[in-house]
Amino acid sequence: MHQEAGSLPLDLYAVGRWLAYLSTLGVIGAAVFAALRPRWDQDSAMGVRALIGTWRLALTMVSLLLFAHLLRGYGQVESFLDPGEPLTRDALSAVLLKTTWGRAWRMQIGAALLGLGMVLIARVQPRRTAATTWLGLAAFAAAATSPLTGHAREHPWGASLGLGLHTLHLLGGGIWLGTLAAALIAVVRHATAAEDHQAVTRLIAAFSRVALLGAGTAVGAGLLLAYGYVGDLASLIGTLYGRTLLVKTALLAATLGFGAWNWRQLTPRLGTAAASRTLQRSMSLELLLGLLLLGATAVLVALPAPRL
């Protein structure tokens, strides 16, 4: 990809990968949030607004996912060209139609298109259980196809385990950070009336248990992946991959710590306008850390792992 030895791969591929992770977690979060709605919504005006916001978010994220994959495809083709060489139909065909990477990329494009169709169908009758199921299937398809163009197929423990762990890592992150984003966008930032603040309290109570499950899954799968790819302390400290992984780990620890602080300090105070405003700011900062975390992940997957 025309990178100097030891340099970070900050290019179109990395940007596309970052957008793909962001949108995949967003689709997963929208699906989980839609499934959570009956646990906190009491057919209030806030619940109706949240339902509309959830499906708008789902449509935005699945559309962004399709764009991200197209951008990644362009970046991958561009990386095979010499400086100044024009992009031609033959070059596109050679990379996207005749390589293993291209076949996996086409599966990702297919999953994104399938997800877009599912979301459009589900939006027609968003209150039905089937709509949430369709959205869940779209989220799972996005997560399961995402690892196909990364390190997963070459995992030292085998392709099946590598793909499975990567998928779990993404699903856990989406259940945690994706649902957090959906809760902020669809509910918390719109809380105005007294009953809205009570709805926020019920929402956070329902979300907290789900967030623990998602974060635990993401961290557990991530630790196994890291051990498989790095293997020892010398590789962790002495390689660019290992040092980037340490940056990602630090960002993950900061994000987890901030989420834990929100849960311990803010949850008991919910139910008022002031508490909802504080929660909105705290959730926004937690998601900002999450965006940086995804950026580190996007860079990491373009680096050669020590044990590959």
Q: What is the largest CA-CA distance in the chain?
A: 62
* Mean local confidence (pLDDT), 133-160: 89
* 306 within some domain: no
Split at pLDDT 50, 70, 90, the class of 90 is confident
Question: How high is the pLDDT of residue 3?
Answer: 38
Mean pLDDT of 179-188: 91
- Closest by CA position to 150, among listed 24, 289, 247: 24
Spatial distance between the Cα atoms of 15 and 4, rounded to a whole number of angstroms: 18
Amino acid identity at 307: R
Supply the range of the domain harboring residue 256: 12-300
User: Which pLDDT score, from 0 to 100, does residue 130 have?
Assistant: 80
Tokens of 268: 């008991």
Higher pLDDT, 127 or 94: 94
- The count of structural domains within the chain is 1
pLDDT more than 90, % of the chain: 40
What is the per-residue pLDDT for 4?
Answer: 36
User: Does residue 308 lie within any of the structural domains?
Assistant: no
The one-letter amino acid code at 298 reads A
> Looking at the domain assignment, is residue 190 inside a domain?
yes
Residue whose token pair is 């996207």: 96
Tell me the whole-structure pTM to 2 decimals: 0.90
Instruction: Please give the Cα distance from 64 to 197 (Å, whole number).
Output: 31
Q: Is residue 2 part of a domain?
A: no
- pLDDT one-digit tens code per residue, 194-211: 788 888 888 898 998 899
In a domain, 4, yes or no: no
Residue 39: inside a domain: yes
Does residue 5 sit within a domain? no
- Region 223-245: mean pLDDT is 90
Axis crossing angle, helix 12-40 with helix 194-230, rounded to the nearest 10: 140
Compute the distance between CA of residue 179 and CA of residue 297 in angstroms, rounded to an integer: 19
- Average pLDDT on 268-293 reads 89
pLDDT tens-digit readout, 22-52:
999 999 999 999 899 888 876 677 777 888 8
